[in-house]
């Protein structure tokens, strides 16, 4: 959940800003100077909302709009086609997501929820608070690129840009461009479509760039970081099963989990998933080493039906099961010093795997509860449920070639690119929806004007058709958001 201290700081900060603004506006001596200062800097304040607008970027936008006019025409025409296709695809996607959400609500099937294409993100609920900085930075970058597309497309179509601005609403950042409405209404519907579709087009291209950067990141970092030799531990959750004096530490290199090799984070995840669904690995022990003196107590059944023989709950011993070779005896159990026994020991599935060295051996298997596994990870011996280990340790594919290089730099770049990809894609989808107050509203109106003028000559009828389509799209989006929030907060 969202930390209470963070909520208090946000509320206290906004209350201080609003109180200061109210006092200065009501002061006879400072009111004029304060309002003039705000106007000169393009600032506007209201409860939980601050907005800044400037014209200093207008020359940059105009310069970009003059670069290779023919190429820009093809670029924004491609954006027009993408915007129209995205508008139709977003409606189909929202309908499918709504159906899946309703099906999950009626059947309570978690597998259906995992297949949802869209998910409402709530900071502190299904977004880790440690990722808030990534979230807001990626959201701000996606918004700036979106508005940059609108501004350059507008200037290319001879529509004046009054200014560019940024805002913060509560804690959510965003950007906007102020276009000259008179010029915008004069240009043709096709020109309007190029302008309105430019935002979602640029968000889509930002997704492509973020994805390409993720794939090429090992190449970019090759002079400074190596990859493919294992997974490097960057964080261990304090108090978890992987923490402690004999647990994993930041900087440890994991190259394998039992007999499963680990070349990177993907292998780490797949190996843990594999180990959670296969029988427990055994370990080869010389037959002569299995002495009755190793047994600390008589085996007894746990509540789940499995056997235990270490009745003293020792942290260094573990109960193992085995069958003596060349005998017809039933399964036996011995409590053994686990670290001493498995260090440098060959893994096995049966006694046949333990005869490779020429001497007779016995394959002993840890006697654990159904979902519990014994796993060797580097110098650590883990006993527990494999997904718990997955959540307790954070790893990266990149190993610094030089000691002074920071371990978190590749992690930051990876995580930030993933958030840019997700949020920029989400902005492209949401803004494509034919919904009031979104780009989809203006895209739909311009599309109807460009395609239905000959079929429906009456402008009022076209506007009425557009109104009902926008109403349907707004209802669809609102239903997805409302049910998505309910599903997230109800879990």
Establish whether 235 is a catalytic residue.
no
Rounded to whole angstroms, the Cα distance separating 58 from 155 reads 10
For the CA atoms of 31, 36, 42, 46, what is the dihedral angle to 10 degrees? 10
For the CA atoms of 176, 178, 183, 188, what is the dihedral angle to 10 degrees? 10
Rounded to whole angstroms, the Cα distance separating 281 from 342 reads 11
Output the six-digit token pair for 63: 């310069």
Closest CA to 50 of 41, 62, 63: 41
| Contact between residue 192 and residue 181 where contact means Cβ atoms under 8 Å apart | no
Rounded to whole angstroms, the Cα distance separating 196 from 432 reads 10
Q: Which of 147, 157, 258, 449 is catalytic?
A: 147
For the CA atoms of 458, 83, 137, 18, what is the dihedral angle to 10 degrees? 0
Residue for token pair 């020429």: 358
Q: Cβ atoms within 10 A of the Cβ of 454, count?
A: 6
The residues carrying an active-site annotation are 147
């Amino acid at each position: 959940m969202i930390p209470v201290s963070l909520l208090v700081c946000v509320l206290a900060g906004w209350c201080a800003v609003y109180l200061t603004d109210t006092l200065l506006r009501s002061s006879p001596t400072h009111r004029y100077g304060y309002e003039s200062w705000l106007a000169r800097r393009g600032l506007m304040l209201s409860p939980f909302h601050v907005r800044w607008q400037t014209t200093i970027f207008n020359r940059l936008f105009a310069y970009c709009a003059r670069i290779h006019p023919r190429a820009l025409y093809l670029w924004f025409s491609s954006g027009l086609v993408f915007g129209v296709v995205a508008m139709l695809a977003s409606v189909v996607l929202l309908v499918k997501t709504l159906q899946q959400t309703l099906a999950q609500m009626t059947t309570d099937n978690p597998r259906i929820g995992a297949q949802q294409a869209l998910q409402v993100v709530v900071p502190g609920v299904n977004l880790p608070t440690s990722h808030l900085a990534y979230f807001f930075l990626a959201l701000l970058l996606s918004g700036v690129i979106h508005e940059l597309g609108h501004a350059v497309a507008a200037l290319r179509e001879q529509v004046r840009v009054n200014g560019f601005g940024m805002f913060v609403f509560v804690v959510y950042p965003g950007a906007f461009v102020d276009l000259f409405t008179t010029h915008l209404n004069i240009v043709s519907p096709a020109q309007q479509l190029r302008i309105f579709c430019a935002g979602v087009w640029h968000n889509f291209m930002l997704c492509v760039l973020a994805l390409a950067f993720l794939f090429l990141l090992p190449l970019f970092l090759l002079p400074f970081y190596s990859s493919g030799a294992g997974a490097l531990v960057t964080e261990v959750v304090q108090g978890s099963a992987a923490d402690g004096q004999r647990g994993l530490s930041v900087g440890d290199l994991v190259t394998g989990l039992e007999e499963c090799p680990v070349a990177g984070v993907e292998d780490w995840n797949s190996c843990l998933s594999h180990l959670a669904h296969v029988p427990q690995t055994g370990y080869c022990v010389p037959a002569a080493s299995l002495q009755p003196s190793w047994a600390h107590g008589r085996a007894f059944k746990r509540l789940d039906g499995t056997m235990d023989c270490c009745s003293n709950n020792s942290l260094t011993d573990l109960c193992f099961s085995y069958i003596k070779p060349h005998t017809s005896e039933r399964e036996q159990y011995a409590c053994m010093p686990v670290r001493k026994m498995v260090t440098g020991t060959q893994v096995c599935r049966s006694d046949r795997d333990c005869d490779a060295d020429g001497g007779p051996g016995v394959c002993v298997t840890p006697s654990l509860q159904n979902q519990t596994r014994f796993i060797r990870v580097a110098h650590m011996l883990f006993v527990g449920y494999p997904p718990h280990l997955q959540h307790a340790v954070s790893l990266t594919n990149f190993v610094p070639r030089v000691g002074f290089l920071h371990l978190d730099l590749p992690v930051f770049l990876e995580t930030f690119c993933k958030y840019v990809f997700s949020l920029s894609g989400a902005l492209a989808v949401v803004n494509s929806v034919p919904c009031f107050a979104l780009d989809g509203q203006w895209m739909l109106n311009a599309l109807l004007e460009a395609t239905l003028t000959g079929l429906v000559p009456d402008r009022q009828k076209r506007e009425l058709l557009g109104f009902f389509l926008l109403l349907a799209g707004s209802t669809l989006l609102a239903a997805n958001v409302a049910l998505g929030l309910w599903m997230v907060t109800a879990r």
